[in-house]
Chains A and B, each alone.
Chain A
Amino acid sequence: MIIKTDIVIIGSGIVGSGAAYHLARKGYDVTVIEKNTSIGDGGSTRNGGGVRQSGRKNEELPIAQYAVEAIWPDLSRRLGVDTEYCKKGNLRLGKTEKDLEILSDIVKRGKNQGLGISMLTGNQAREINPHLSKDVLGASWCPTDGHANPLKVTLGYYMKAKSLGAKFIRDEEVISIGMAGGSVKHVHTKGNDYVCNKVLISAGYDSMKLLEDYDIHLPMTKIVLDVLVTEKVAPMFPQMLGTAAADFYGHQAKNGSFIFGGTAGISSGSFKTMTAGIDMTDTCKGVVGYLPEFEDIKVVRTWTGEIDVMGDHMPVISPIDRVPGLTVACGFTGHGFGIGPAVADLVSSMVVGMPTSLDLKAFRYDRF
Chain B
Amino acid sequence: MNERNKDLGLYVPCEDDQEVICLCEGVTKGEIREKVNQGLMTMKEVRKFLRTGMGPCQGKRCRPKVKVIIEEILGKPAADVEDELIRPSIKAEKMSNIIQAKVVGNLDH
Nearest-neighbor residue (CB-CB) of A294 within chain B: B95
Minimal Cβ-Cβ distance residue in A for B96: A295
Bound-state CA distance A169–B1 (Å) is 9
Interface residue B104 (Cβ < 8 Å from any Cβ of A): yes
How far apart are the CA atoms of A302 and B38 in the complex, in Å?
29
Q: Is B64 an interface residue (CB 8 A)?
A: no
A47 CB to nearest chain B CB (Å): 10
| Residue A329 lies at the interface, judged by CB distance under 8 Å to chain B | no
Cross-chain contact B40 with A155 (CB below 8 angstroms): yes
Contact yes or no, B49 A275, CB < 8 A: no
Q: At the interface, yes or no: B44 with Cβ under 8 Å from chain A?
A: yes
- Interface size class, chain B: 20 to 34
Q: How far is the CA of A303 from the CA of B108 in the complex (A)?
A: 5
Contact flags B97-109 to A (C-beta < 8 A → 1, else 0): 0110011111111
Which residues of the other chain, B, contact A298 by a CB distance below 8 angstroms? 92-95
Please indicate the chain B residues that have their CB under 8 angstroms from the CB of A246 in the complex. none
Checking B40, B44, B94, B105 against A297 with a beta-carbon cut-off of 8 angstroms, the contacting residue is: B94
A300 close to chain B: CB less than 8 A: yes
| Overall SS of chain A's interface | mixed
- Contact, CB under 8 Å: A39 / B92: no
Q: Is A233 an interface residue (CB 8 A)?
A: no
- Kindly name the residue among A151, A158, A278, A288 whose own CB sees the greatest number of chain B CB atoms within 10 A: A151
In the bound assembly, the distance between CA atoms of A276 and B39 in angstroms comes to 33
Partner of A281, one of B98, B106, B109: B98
**Is B42 interfacial (CB-CB < 8 Å)?**
yes
Nearest-CB residue, chain A, relative to B1: A171
B-facing residues in A40-64 (Cβ within 8 Å):
41, 45-46
State how many angstroms separate the Cβ of A287 from the closest Cβ of chain B.
Answer: 7
Chain B residues touching A, majority SS: loop
Chain A nearest CB: distance from B63 CB in Å?
15
Contact B92 A300 (CB under 8 A): yes
Query: Closest Cβ of chain A: how far from B36's Cβ, in Å?
Result: 11
Cβ-defined contact, A155 with B45, below 8 A: yes
B76 CB, min distance to chain A CBs, angstroms: 12
A295 engages B109 (CB within 8 Å): no
Q: How far is B92's CA from A297's CA once the two chains are assembled, in angstroms? A: 9
Given A159-B38, A168-B5: A288 and B106 interface contact (C-beta under 8 Å): no
Q: Are B94 and A295 in contact (CB under 8 A)?
A: yes
A269 within 8 A of B: no
Asked if A113 lies at the interface with its beta carbon under 8 angstroms from chain B, I say no
A357 within 8 A of partner (CB): no
Q: Which residue of A lies closest to B87 (CB)?
A: A301
Tell me whether A169 and B5 are in contact in the complex, defined as CB-CB below 8 angstroms, given that A274-B108, A298-B93, A299-B98 are known contacts. Answer: yes
Q: Does A26 lie at the interface of the complex (its beta carbon under 8 Å from any beta carbon of B)?
A: no
Check A299–B5 contact: CB distance below 8 A: no
Given A163-B38, A272-B108, A285-B99, 8 other A-B residues pairs in contact with their CB atoms under 8 A: A37-B82, A159-B39, A171-B4, A277-B102, A280-B104, A296-B95, A299-B95, A301-B58
- Closest 5 pairs between A and B when the two form their complex, measured CB to CB: A303-B109, A298-B92, A295-B96, A151-B48, A284-B95
A-B contact pairs, 10 of them (CB 8 A): A37-B42, A155-B40, A273-B108, A277-B102, A281-B102, A288-B99, A295-B95, A298-B92, A301-B87, A301-B107
**Residues in chain A within 8 A of chain B (CB atoms):** 37-39, 41, 45-46, 151-152, 155, 158-159, 162-163, 167-171, 228, 231, 255, 272-278, 280-281, 284-285, 287-288, 294-305
